[in-house]
């Protein structure tokens, strides 16, 4: 948790890392709702964090802000641990979860894994719910993901922003990888957040923050750079996907890592921005850029997370 920020009773901000998204636990004596469940490899840790906050009280509901694997990878485990838990997801992917279409859910294209889970209901823009005497409202917040939502408590000025706004930037704009224009949607979501005037943001990654104006200015500057130069966003997306997988694997032989990237259709879409080099050479170039930035290291033919 973030010690410097005082949260109202009934809100626990569980700050994780970059492989697992942060979790927000909303609870009182009658109910416990978890917003986002992290990546599948951290599912037991997520369970332990929940138990440390609510003890033997059951988890009643999971709400996923969107269905990227680092935000819903713990769903399946928690549905086993808490058999009565209800799971609510944004409406755009509801049928794909029911059918379990890993391609449409982006797990296959990104080369990531997400254990099969079930969904009971949708969480849609305008939906309201109350926990610990506080009312939360869901807002549609497309851009990073076309179906993403954010949750806002107006009385306390607290925004659960997922990957729409971090203290420094926002998540990869995944529709742009597929050639679907979405930078304008990112801008519209930033405008929505500004109109809500939150005093505190609980982001999907990174620490909670109160300088919302500063974060919005930084995000808009970054968005302008991506919009002006889409290749810059493509590099950012490629490096994020590589780093995410490296966070999971921790160390991997370069040849195996390149094979993994070759099996991810998103990498081939990103490579189209840089058709001057072969796919293999470009992948190695992206890996070396992670090393140069200090996000990874290389010993011989082994690529290591840093």
- Tell me: the pLDDT tens digits for 51-89? 999 999 999 999 999 999 999 999 999 999 999 999 999
Q: Does pLDDT of 2 surpass 60? A: no
Q: Quick one: fold of 11-227?
A: Metallo-beta-lactamase; Chain A (3.60.15)
Q: Does pLDDT of 1 surpass 80? A: no
Mean pLDDT of 17-33: 97
Mean pLDDT of 232-243: 96
Retrieve residue 3's tokens.
């010690």
Distance, in Å, from the CA atom of 265 to the CA atom of 256, rounded to the nearest integer, reads 16
Q: Residue 104 carries which DSSP code?
A: T
Q: Does pLDDT of 238 surpass 80? A: yes
Contact at 8 Å (CB) between 24 and 36?
A: yes
**pTM (predicted TM-score):** 0.95
Give the percent of the chain with pLDDT over 90. 96
Confidence class of residue 273 from pLDDT cuts 50, 70 and 90?
confident
Q: According to CATH, where is 1.10.10 located in the chain?
A: 230-305
Write out the CATH class of domain 230-305.
Answer: mainly alpha
Retrieve residue 168's tokens.
């420094």
Q: Within 10 A of 211 (CB to CB), how many other CB atoms are there?
A: 11
Q: Does pLDDT of 3 surpass 50? A: no
Q: Does pLDDT of 287 surpass 80? A: yes
Distance, in Å, from the CA atom of 30 to the CA atom of 84, rounded to the nearest integer, reads 14
Q: According to CATH, where is 3.60.15.10 located in the chain?
A: 11-227
Q: Does pLDDT of 248 surpass 80? A: yes
Q: Does pLDDT of 276 surpass 90? A: no
For tokens 């626990």, name the residue: 12
Least confident of 74-78, 101-105, 176-180, 276-280: 276-280
CA distances from 160 to 11, 133, 199, 277 (A): 11, 17, 11, 41
Q: For residue 44, give every residue at least 6 positions away whose Cβ sits within 8 Å of its Cβ, in sequence order, or none.
A: 77
Mean pLDDT of 202-212: 97
Q: Does pLDDT of 211 surpass 50? A: yes
Q: Does pLDDT of 161 surpass 60? A: yes
* 97-133: pLDDT as tens digits: 999 999 999 999 999 999 999 999 999 999 999 999 9
Confidence class of residue 5 from pLDDT cuts 50, 70 and 90?
confident
Q: For residue 66, give every residue at least 6 positions away whose Cβ sits within 8 Å of its Cβ, in sequence order, or none.
A: 72, 90, 144, 145, 147, 148, 149, 162, 163
Going 155 to 187 to 221 to 3, the CA torsion angle's sign is positive
- Report the Cα 85 to chain-centroid distance in Å: 21
Q: Does pLDDT of 244 surpass 50? A: yes
Confidence class of residue 4 from pLDDT cuts 50, 70 and 90?
low
> 133 in helix, strand or coil?
coil
């Amino acid at each position: 948790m973030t010690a410097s920020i005082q949260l109202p009773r009934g809100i626990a901000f569980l700050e994780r890392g970059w492989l697992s998204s942060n979790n927000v636990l909303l609870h009182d004596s009658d109910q416990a709702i978890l917003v986002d469940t992290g990546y599948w490899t951290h599912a037991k840790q997520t369970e332990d964090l929940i138990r440390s906050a609510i003890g033997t009280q059951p988890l009643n509901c999971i709400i996923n802000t969107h269905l990227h694997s680092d935000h819903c990878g713990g769903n399946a485990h928690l549905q086993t641990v808490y058999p009565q838990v209800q799971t609510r997801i944004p409406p755009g992917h509801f049928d794909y979860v029911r059918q379990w279409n890993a391609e449409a859910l982006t797990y296959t294209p990104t080369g990531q894994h997400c254990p099969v889970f079930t969904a009971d209901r949708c969480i849609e823009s305008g939906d309201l719910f109350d926990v610990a005497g506080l009312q939360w409202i869901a807002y549609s917040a497309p851009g990073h993901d076309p179906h993403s939502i954010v949750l806002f408590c107006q009385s306390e000025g607290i925004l659960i922003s997922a990957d729409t706004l971090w203290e420094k930037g926002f998540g990869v704009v995944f529709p742009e990888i597929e050639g679907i224009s979405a930078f304008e949607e990112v801008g519209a979501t930033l405008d929505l957040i500004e109109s809500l005037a939150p005093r505190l943001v609980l982001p999907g990654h990174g620490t909670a923050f109160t300088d919302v104006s500063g974060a919005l200015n930084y995000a808009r500057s970054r968005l302008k750079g991506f919009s002006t130069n889409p290749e810059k966003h493509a590099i950012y997306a490629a490096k994020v996907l590589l780093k995410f997988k490296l966070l999971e694997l921790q160390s991997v032989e370069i040849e195996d890592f390149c094979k993994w990237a070759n099996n991810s259709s998103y990498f081939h879409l990103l490579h189209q921005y840089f058709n001057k080099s072969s796919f293999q050479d470009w992948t190695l170039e992206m890996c070396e850029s992670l090393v140069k930035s200090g996000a990874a290291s290389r010993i011989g033919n082994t690529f290591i997370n840093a």
